[in-house]
Every structure is written in structure tokens, then in C-alpha cells.
Chains A and B, each alone.
Chain A
Amino acid sequence: MRKYFNKYHIKNGLAVIVTYFILTVIALFILFPLTWVVSTSIKPTNEVMAIPPQWIPDNPTIENYVNVFTNSSIPRYFVNSFLASSFVALITIVLGGLTGYGLSRRKTKGTRAISTFILASQMLPATVILVPVYLFISKIHLYDTIFGLVFAHLILTLPLVTWMCKGYIDTIPVDLEEAAQIEGCTRLQALLKVIFPIAAPGIAASGMFAFIQSWNEFTIASILTESTKSRTLPVGLTEFALLFKVDWGSTMAASVVISVPVIVIFLFMQKYIVKGIGQGAVKG
């Protein structure tokens, strides 16, 4: 089913080798710092800053992991982060998807101006919107709550996802919707049954995007959350740093621990990207 692109067989063995070679190089580039994260997470304190640096510690230890699970609020922050990011992703793709659809299907001067405004709203650096956003969130009594953070994070994700969805929907010919209508679908049915399945990979990608933006956001979260009931992981990670001493072992162990569930979600979402195409009404 997912062979639209792939049918272009390259039988040349050299091309296969070159492709795998380049992919391996890219993978090594990605893994180089990440391996260091894992390596540091199993080092005892006195080996963390050794000269020369070592990949494999002399005395590997799991004490950093034990510390993360028993002696920190990371598990709680994980729940907070997960809730906040999921809400952000959900709200973003619903609102952004609809807006993106409208902007893609109706192109007039007015909608172009709206598109540009939406894009421009993304251009103010987080540092300067910080204080106004803080005052705003306090005014609606959402300070130090997950929902306040979700609301604020929409600033970061919604404009971008609107544009991303607009881009994906632009690639889907209008004829398909019209054909569906001729076949007796109502307009909404056409949207849900024709556009949605074809755009599913894009929507899934946008959702992942929104999730990660919110998951990684530090500056706004550090101002809008105060207590353990709403603090998120990126902010929580700073708790392993004391004034003059950073517990790198535990910081790295925590970032390994929090990556695992996200990877699992990714694997699931990726299946969905492929599946979306499989169900697509493009070609029966």
C-alpha cells in the first residue's frame, strides 16, 4: 500500500550500499551525544569529569537511576509533562487542522492576510512575550496549573501547526472532495472521509510536532509553574543542579528515563502515519 514513492526500484547494488552508508553516518551523528548521555548516566560521581574522557566507566553504577526514581519528583513531573503535552497536541491539531483547512481551500486577500498574521505571531521571541503571558495567565487564575501552561504553549504550537496543516492540505487536490460530493457524500463527510485520511500522516506529524514543542519548552514553563503539581520535566531537570555542583549522573539518568516512554509513543504514532495512508481513499 505505501509504495507510491517507493516503487522506483533502484536495482543498483552500489546505490544500496551508499544509501546505508550515509544513513549510518547520520545515525552516528545523532547517537554521538546521546551515547554520552547514557554513558554519563551510569558513571559514579568521581568518574563523571575524568580526564581523559571515557565511554565506559571503570565502575558502572545504577545509583543515578535509583536516585531519579526514589529521591526526586521526576515521576510526578513526567505525569505533568505528559498531560500538558497531550492536551497541547490535541487542541492544536483540532484547531490548527480546521484553520489550516479553511486557509488552504479559500485563498483570497483576506485569508492570505490572516495566514501572514498567524505566521508573524510566531516571530516574537519567547523572552519578550514572557511577562505579558505571565500577567495574562495570572489574570485568568491559571497560574501554576497545567491548563495555564497548555494555554500558553498554544502560542508556540498553534500558528506553526496551522501552517503545517495548510501545507499538507494544499497537496491534496480539491477534485477529490468534489468527486466525493458527486458520489453523494455531504460536505462534512467528504472532509472526514476523504481529506482526513489522506492528510492523516501530516496531521500525525503535526501532532507529534506540537507534543514535542510543548514537551521540551523550558522558558515559559519555568515562569508559569511553581509547585510540583504543575512543574514539567525540562524545569524539573534543573533540580539536579545545586548552586555550585551539578549532579550530571542523575540529570542524564533522568533524561534517559523520560525518553523511553516518548520513544514508545513515537513508534505508535509512526505506525499511524503509515496506516493513514493505507486507509487513504486515493486508490482503492
Chain B
Amino acid sequence: MVSTRKKLFTKFQYFQFILPGFIVIGLLISYPLVSNVSMSVSDDGVFSIDNFIRIIENPSFIITLRNTLLWMFSTVVLATTLGFCSAILIEQNFVKHKVFWRSLILLAWITPGIVKAHTWKWLFSYDFGMLNYMLVSIGLIKEPVYWLTSANTAFLAVVIIQVWSEFPYVMLMISAGIQSINTEYYDCARLDGASYFRYIWSIVIPIIRDVVFISILLLTIWSINTFSVIWIVTQGGPYGSTNILSIDIYRKFLMFDLGGASATALLQLSISLIITIIYIRQSRKVETNA
């Protein structure tokens, strides 16, 4: 965009737009944030970083950290890919009943969380689960699998559940983004004789880049904050293989170890912030290069 232009609004007028929302957010979050920081560094009014040392010294901390990063990475990548693909496919010209397909996918998202987690756990169950039963009867596996009692399959299981419940959101966001693409771009592309995939890659993706960017950001935050799915399905097991930081926070909260919970939460917050800031920086670089 060119820089010399008449401003639409004055500086102050822009702030009038920004402020109401900003104040409500500030109002709601500042007290929790302040109390969180203060609880993490002092249990009885005296400043100490014991809570942090206690967490980092725990031998399982490294494994939990690794799980957290792996969990974040795999759920975000899979949910984004699946959401993006389904949005692109549904928005094809020849696909009929777009509203039907979209609503069908969104069903996963409106299913209440408790029902979601318990139903999936049930499906994965060895004795009572439909999944083994179906896979055996269509011949994909010979013997039923103990999904939830081996470290790898249990991790896979919770990732599948998380992706199932979150990719509809990406689909919704990207569908809405695609809807706002101006027809001119398409005309240019066709005149240039660009292939369909080239059209997607060089025209659609750059235009909806912001939407994709925000979807990934939000998925990352959700994914790191998730606890109910893992808590209900595996409780972080078997032997800590699906344990992530948010599960630790929840455990500490249940014991009313508010200092420990707050300290872990701040560690988790810094991880999300670091990742987010790197991500924002990188995408701004791409933006200026483009």
C-alpha cells in the first residue's frame, strides 16, 4: 500500500474504536494476571522463586515440556491442514449443498466438551469400543488394539480427538475468508492461464493469509491450554506419556496449590508468548517481503 494518503480518521478517533474493547479485556484480565504473578512468587507475602525451582527440579518436567511442544505442534499442523483442505474442497464451484457440508463438519464443534471426550474414550476402549470392532470387521487390523494403554497410541488417540474437535473452526474461518476474495483476482489468474493449484497457492493463500495466520495462532493457544480432553481420556498417562503442562496446572489447582499452579501457568504463558512472538515476527517478515 502507498503511504501518502489522506487519513480516514484522526489518531484519537482510531483510539475511540480500540478503547472500549481494550478496556473490557484489560478490566477482566488484569486482576487475574496480577494475582497470578503475585501468587507464583509468594505464598505468604515474602518474595521467593521456590515455586519455579520446585517445578523445574521435578524430574518429569523435561518430559512434560517435550510432550507439550509435541502436542502443540501435531494438533495445530493436523487441524490446520484438515481445516484448510475441507474449506477449499467445500468452496469448489461444483460442490452442491455447501451449507450442508459446512454444518455437518461444524457438528463436531458444537458437541458439548464432556460428551465429546467421553464418547471418544468409549470408542477407543478395548472391551466396549466401536473403533476396534469396526477396524477388525473391515479387515484393517487383525487383532484389537489396546489404544489407551500404550504410550504412542494413547498420544495418537488424544491428538485425534483434539483435531476432530478443532479443525471445524479452521474450516469455518477459511471458508469465510475465501468468501471475501474479490472476483477480479480470479479473472486475472484465468487470463494468465494459471493452473488451479497455482491459483490457490499464489492468489488465494496470500489473500487469506491473515485469516490463516490468526487461526494458527488461536489453535496454538487452545492447544496449549487444553486439559479436559486429556484429563478425561488418559489423565496424562500411561506413565506420563500424554502429560502436558496444563494437566500439571489442573492437578495443582485441584490440590489448591495455587502458588505452584500459578508458577506453572506463567511458565506455560511464557512458552506461548515466545512461540507467538517468533511467529508474528516471521509472518511480518513474509508480509514485507511479499
The answer to whether any beta carbons of A and B sit under 8 Å apart in the complex is yes
Interface, chain A (partner B; CB < 8 A): 2-10, 16, 19-20, 22-23, 26-27, 29-34, 36-37, 49-53, 55, 95-96, 98-103, 105-106, 111, 114, 116-133, 136, 151-152, 154-155, 158-160, 162-164, 166-168, 170-174, 177-178, 181, 187, 190, 198-199, 201-202, 204-205, 208-209, 212, 215-216, 218-219, 233-234, 237-238, 251-252, 255, 258-259, 262-263, 266-267, 270-271, 273-274, 276-277, 282-283
Contacts of B269 in A (CB 8 A): 120, 123-124
In this complex, the interface size class of chain B, counting residues with CB under 8 Å from chain A, is: 35 or more
Q: Distance in Å from the Cβ of B201 to the closest Cβ of chain A?
A: 13
Contacts of B179 in A (CB 8 A): 2, 4-5, 201, 273-274, 276-277
CB-CB nearest in chain A for B106: A266
Cross-chain contact A209 with B169 (CB below 8 angstroms): yes
Cross-chain contact A251 with B36 (CB below 8 angstroms): no
Interface of A is mostly: helix
A-B pairs under 8 A by CB, number: 325
Cross-chain contact A124 with B32 (CB below 8 angstroms): yes
Contacts of B9 in A (CB 8 A): 105-106, 187
Cross-chain contact B113 with A96 (CB below 8 angstroms): no
Cross-chain contact A125 with B265 (CB below 8 angstroms): yes
Contacts of B250 in A (CB 8 A): 127
Contacts of A151 in B (CB 8 A): 28
Interface residues of B in 8-50 (CB under 8 A from A): 8-9, 11, 14-22, 24-26, 28-29, 31-33, 35-36
Q: Which of B51-59, B147-155, B170-178, B234-242 contacts A (4 or more CB under 8 A)?
A: B170-178
Interface residues of B in 131-183 (CB under 8 A from A): 133, 164, 168-169, 172-173, 175-183
Cross-chain contact A8 with B86 (CB below 8 angstroms): no
For B107, give its contact among A30, A106, A162 (CB under 8 Å): A30
Q: With A30-B164, A101-B17, A205-B172 in contact, do A131 and B258 touch (Cβ < 8 Å)?
A: yes
Q: Is B63 an interface residue (CB 8 A)?
A: no
Cross-chain contact B103 with A263 (CB below 8 angstroms): yes
Q: Is B70 an interface residue (CB 8 A)?
A: no
Cross-chain contact B123 with A158 (CB below 8 angstroms): no
For B114, give its contact among A8, A234, A262 (CB under 8 Å): A234
Cross-chain contact A126 with B225 (CB below 8 angstroms): yes
For the complex, what is the distance from the CA of A201 to the CA of B180, rounded to whole Å? 8
Q: With A51-B127, A209-B169 in contact, do A23 and B183 touch (Cβ < 8 Å)?
A: no
Contacts of A208 in B (CB 8 A): 172
Cross-chain contact B186 with A168 (CB below 8 angstroms): no
Which of A7, A120, A126, A128 has the largest count of B CB atoms less than 10 A from its CB? A128
Q: Is B290 an interface residue (CB 8 A)?
A: no
